[in-house]
Amino acid sequence: MTTANGVDTRHDSLTPLQRCKANVAAALAVIAGPAKIRLHPMFEWSRTLAIKAAIYFAVFLVCMILLDAPLMRAVGHLPRWAVWFFGQITDFGKSGWFLWPLGLIYLALAALPAPLTRMSQAVLAAVQVRVGFLFLAIGIPGLFDTIIKRMIGRARPTVGGHLDPFLFKPFIWRADFASLPSGHVTTAFAVMVAFGSLWPRWRTELLIYAGLIALSRMVVLAHFPSDVFAAALVGTFGALLVRRYFALRRLGFSIGPDGALHQYPGPSLKRIKAVARELLAP
């Protein structure tokens, strides 16, 4: 996925900044390249997705019409300790907690000089692919959420002094009319899918994290339940689509003849430490 780190060693004489630029440009070219796997029939997959989208939209409408106002009124009767607890954890759904570290790690890896051995180059490239996947699987759903919520223009629960799940001002581009879908919840569920795809053993903990963030956004009166439901779908399916995109290009994942998605084995901690020692060796 990179030029100097894992594909080509002709740039050893470049400065770290030059290597970083070259590697990032090479990575973008690979990601934007054509798929290496062709699946048939695509029509069946698209039709299944359309059916699921129709079902989820129906559930969203039922939630907005029947549940939004009653559940938000019930939130007002929660004990203070519950409100305090969810108020403390809700900001951990911000995308910056994940995108900044992942972005900086990726740039740092791209700036490294090429390792001495082919095995080390492959290990470093595999790590970069996974970091890049995490960044895009979290960042792309979040970007979509940021744009679409301002186009929809749904008022937050506290706007207007009373609960009104049907108060909309499309294209107003104001924070108090950016309730649908929830950005925190989109990030939390994208994190759940992205990290869970690479480390399946963490899926229970990741589900608990995403669920707590979703609850917190309602408890702090930032979003209606239907906002949270929609955001969970955006985060989940956005990350799944990024994973599928990577799999079609055999970047960290692949898709078998039966249509099942498989993750390529990642480098072990022992191999990563060996690469680090090789890079740090005088």
Q: Which of 121, 140, 228 is nearest to 179 (CA)?
A: 228
Question: In this predicted structure, what is the pLDDT of residue 197?
Answer: 96
Helix axis angle, 96-111 relative to 118-152, nearest 10°?
150
Tens-digit pLDDT profile for residues 174-232: 999 999 999 999 999 999 999 999 999 999 999 999 999 999 999 999 999 999 999 99
Cα separation of 96 and 181, whole Å?
Answer: 18
Give the model confidence (pLDDT) of 28-58 as tens digits.
Answer: 999 999 988 877 655 555 667 788 889 999 9
Kindly report, residue by residue over 69-101, the tens digit of the pLDDT.
999 999 989 999 999 999 999 999 999 999 999
Look up residue 107 and give its two tokens.
């740039």
pTM comes to 0.91
Q: Specify whether the CB–CB gap between 36 and 248 falls below 8 A.
A: yes
Q: What is the distance, to the nearest Å, from the Cα of residue 161 to the centroid of all Cα atoms in its chain?
A: 34
Nearest to 83 by CA among 210, 223, 179, 221: 221
Question: What's the pLDDT tens digit per position in 187-201?
Answer: 999 999 999 999 999
155 three-state secondary structure: coil
Cβ-Cβ contacts under 8 Å for 118 (sequence gap 6 or more): none
If one counts every other C-beta atom within 10 angstroms of the C-beta of residue 19, the result is: 22
230 closest CA partner among 179, 166, 171: 179
Q: What is the pLDDT of residue 191?
A: 98
Domain boundaries, the chain: 34-280
Count of CB atoms within 10 A of residue 260's CB? Answer: 8
